């Protein structure tokens, strides 16, 4: 069997495993829906009012997308590795031709599909429920590589957390500990003006910051395909995706 065949087979197995967990499927899509309904439709934004949610609805699209790009890969990949370790599956995988890189790629592709669907749902809700105006230009197509690369970054990080944590509960705790600060301190829901000046350089350390800046330029500022802001942030996310994917593949245990 070729490498493509091995990845396809593992992708199919991981996809079917996801679909069998109906609770996981439900909450994967319910969480972003309820988030948009609460903060987008009920709380709503108060332009020029100051404080949180003082910007137009479209400004917060990167934040809503970041919730699924960040939380879902961290918890899903980390938990999958924890389950494999508890079931001694890595010892069995070590006897097959499937490499750690191929296993990681298959898991990443499953998450790309799942989160891609969730992202489409979020965009539709933002337009239909909150009235957010998303510029329809060729540049909006760059949302696809932003989501794909962002998912890859946090799949890699999830793999590292899953390899370090000693149980599924440990993975969930570690994922939340990492994800919550990143979600609110990466130019998503909290604008840079609301943070102290000394915190500015720290924001630049977050991979999610570059995802947020690029997505906001596309969905709020109407940037084009060749906009320097978009391309710069996309390049940073792409470089981080390579680094985290390699780190995540390397962190996968050979045996349990």
Average pLDDT on 157-183 reads: 87
Task: Give the pTM.
Answer: 0.89
Task: Give residue limits of the domains in the chain.
Answer: 3-43+78-251
User: Mind listing the pLDDT tens digit for each residue in 193-220?
Assistant: 888 888 878 889 999 999 999 999 999 9
Give residue 153's pLDDT band: very low, low, confident or very high (50, 70, 90).
Answer: very high
Average pLDDT on 226-255 reads: 92
DSSP the chain: --HHHHHHHHHHHHHHHHHH-HHHHHHHHHHHHHHIIIIIIII---TTS-STT-S-GGGGHHHHHHHHHHHHHHHHHHHHHHHHHHTTHHHHHTTSS--HHHHHHHHHHHHHHHHHHHHHHHHHHHHHTS------SGGGGGHHHHHHHHHHHHHHHHHHHHHHSSSHHHHHHHHHHHHHHHHHSSSSSS-GGGS-GGGHHHHTT-HHHHHHHHHHHHHTS---TT-HHHHHHHHHHHHHHHHHHHHHHHHS-S--
């Amino acid at each position: 069997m070729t490498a493509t065949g091995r990845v396809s087979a593992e992708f199919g197995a991981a996809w079917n495993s996801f679909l069998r967990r109906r609770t996981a499927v439900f909450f994967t899509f319910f969480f972003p829906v309820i988030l948009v309904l609460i903060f987008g439709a009920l709380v709503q934004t108060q332009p020029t009012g100051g404080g949180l949610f003082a910007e137009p609805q479209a400004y917060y699209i990167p934040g809503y997308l970041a919730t699924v790009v960040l939380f879902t890969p961290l918890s899903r990949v980390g938990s999958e590795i924890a389950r494999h370790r508890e079931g001694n599956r890595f010892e069995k995988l070590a006897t097959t031709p499937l490499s750690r890189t191929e296993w990681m790629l298959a898991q990443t592709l499953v998450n790309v599909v799942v989160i891609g669907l969730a992202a489409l749902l979020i965009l539709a809700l933002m337009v239909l429920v909150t009235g957010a105006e998303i510029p329809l230009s060729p540049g909006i197509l760059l949302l696809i590589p932003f989501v794909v690369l962002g998912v890859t970054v946090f799949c890699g990080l999830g793999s590292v957390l899953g390899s370090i944590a000693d149980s599924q509960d440990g993975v969930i705790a570690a994922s939340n500990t990492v994800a919550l600060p990143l979600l609110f301190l990466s130019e998503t829901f909290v604008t840079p003006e609301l943070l102290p000046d000394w915190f500015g350089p720290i924001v630049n350390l977050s991979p999610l910051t570059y995802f947020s800046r690029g997505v906001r330029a596309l969905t709020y500022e109407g940037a084009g395909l060749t906009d320097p802001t978009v391309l710069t942030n996309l390049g940073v996310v792409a470089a981080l995706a390579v680094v985290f994917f390699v780190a995540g593949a390397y962190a996968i245990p050979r045996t349990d």
